[in-house]
Structures are given as C-alpha cells and as structure tokens.
Amino acid sequence: MTTILLVEDEAALAQLIVQGLEKYGYRVFHASDGQSALHLYVQYQPDLILLDWVIPVLDSREVLHRLRQISATPVLMFTSQSWRLDPDSDQMTTLGLIADETITKPFKISELEARVRAHLRRVERVRRIVSADRKKHTRCLAYHDLSLNPSQRQVTIAGKPVELTALEFDLLCLLLRNPGRVFGRMYLLEIMELAEDAYGEGTVDEAIRCLHNKLGELGIQIEKLEGIGYRLKPG
C-alpha cells in the first residue's frame, strides 16, 4: 500500500485529508509539527510527503532541509491564497530547489489525489529506471574496437586486455549500455551503491578520468558535461 506522510497542524483539515486519501486506498500518517514529521518519516519511509508551509516546532524550511539531506521523496507543499513569495527571497529558493510542487488552499480532495497520483507515477518510473540500471547484465558489449564481457568482467581494445577497477568497469558497462544518455554524478553514485558521505562526486570524476587514460583514444568518447555529468557519445 502506498504510504503518505501528512504534515498539517490544523486538526480539522488534517482529518479531512486523511479520511479523503484513505478512501482512495492510501495509507496516511499524520504529524502536527515538524519534529514529529521527521520521526514519522524515519519510522515509516513514506512514498510521498504533504507538507504545510506554516507548522510549529520545526518550520517547513528546516523540515525540507533535513529531509533533502537523506531523501529524494517527493514533497507537495500546502500554501494559502494570501501567501505570496518574493521571487528573490530565500523562501522561493527553498521551494524551487527542495519542494516538488505547491498546492494552494483551499482545495478539493479529488484535486489533491490527482496531484498525488501524478507524482507517484513519476516516482515509479524513476524506480524502474534505477532498477534497470542496477541490474547485472551478461550480454557482451562492443563500441568501435572495444569489447566488454560482463560475465568475465573483461575489457579489450583491438584484442588487447585493459585492466580496470571494479568501479571503472561498472561505470563503463553502464555507459556502453546507454550511449548518448546523460548521467549525473550523484545518480551514478546511487547506481553504483556508493555512500555519498564516504565517496562524494569526486569519486565519479576520478573514475572517469582513469577511464579516459586507460581507454586511450576511445576515452575521449566519454564526454563531460559541465555542471551536469557524463555521457558516452553514440557510436
């Protein structure tokens, strides 16, 4: 069952939302303040968060900041009709970079559920992509005169073996399976199941640099897109 965390301090409104979403088949946990929201998030790992902009104990900006340090779970934020943002304010930065969407009060439960459903569909698509990227492949791959054998974990160029580390091999395999596709550094860390706090984006940069050196002329086919990530030029 899809799990939603609702963070709303107005008890009557929270009850309406919980009851309304439960009728659509969602499991909903309710927190009335920011601190409780973080505890419930850790406990239940919801698929989506509904967060009111004005909440007690910990404000929504702090809740968003802490959540984004540990999770990419979609966040839909409730705002009021009288609420306005200065385009250059810290509030706008918070929403633009951390919250996925805003919903203006008052709203119909049917409208809210439609927004929830749309975000959950996107989340499911991302999960399928991540699962496919992490899946171990056995099909041999070729790119110009480079050959890669996933089962034997061997790489050759014009028949000559190329020694790669485990990370370099896995990165090359992923790029070869997806020529032309752009991969962000943080996404590559996740796919390779490397902890961000232990490795960081520089780990990916170093591995790609080594691939450039070890693959010779073919190495330059792995393009660096400044501020974005890497891709292998289509063969």
Helix (H, G, I), strand (E, B) or coil at 156: strand
Helix (H, G, I), strand (E, B) or coil at 19: helix
Give the domains, in start order, of the chain with CATH numbers.
3-133 (3.40.50.2300), 137-232 (1.10.10.10)
Helix (H, G, I), strand (E, B) or coil at 101: strand
- Residue with the larger pLDDT of the pair 167 and 72: 167
Strand partners, 113: none
Backbone dihedral region for residue 144 (phi beyond 0: left; psi -120 to 50: alpha; all else: beta): left
Helix (H, G, I), strand (E, B) or coil at 81: coil
Residue 219 is classified by DSSP as G
d(CA 29, CA 5): 5
How many other CB atoms are found less than 10 A from the CB of residue 212?
15
d(CA 49, CA 73): 7
Q: For residue 98, what pLDDT is reported?
A: 55
Mean pLDDT, residues 211-234? 91
Mean pLDDT, residues 140-149? 96
pLDDT digits (tens, 9 = 90+) for 78-126: 987 544 444 444 444 444 445 678 888 889 999 999 999 999 988 888 7
Q: What are the phi and psi torsion angles at 104 (to 5°)?
A: -85, 130
Q: For residue 7, what pLDDT is reported?
A: 97
83: closest CA among 55, 111, 53? 53
Tell me which of 64-73, 162-171, 197-206, 218-227 is least confident: 197-206
Q: For residue 200, what pLDDT is reported?
A: 60
d(CA 91, CA 27): 30
CB 179 within 8 A of CB 230: no
Q: For residue 115, what pLDDT is reported?
A: 93
Q: For residue 109, what pLDDT is reported?
A: 95
Q: Has residue 212 got a pLDDT over 50?
A: yes
Given 3-state DSSP classes, what are the helix, strand and coil percentages for the chain, each rounded to the nearest 5?
45, 20, 35
Q: For residue 226, what pLDDT is reported?
A: 83
Q: For residue 84, what pLDDT is reported?
A: 47
Tell me which of 102-116, 127-141, 154-168 is least confident: 127-141
Q: For residue 194, what pLDDT is reported?
A: 66
d(CA 112, CA 123): 17
- Residue with the larger pLDDT of the pair 155 and 202: 155
188: closest CA among 202, 179, 180? 202
Q: Has residue 71 got a pLDDT over 70?
A: yes
Q: 206 falls in which pLDDT band (50, 70, 90)?
A: very high
Q: For residue 199, what pLDDT is reported?
A: 52
Task: Read off the pTM.
Answer: 0.60
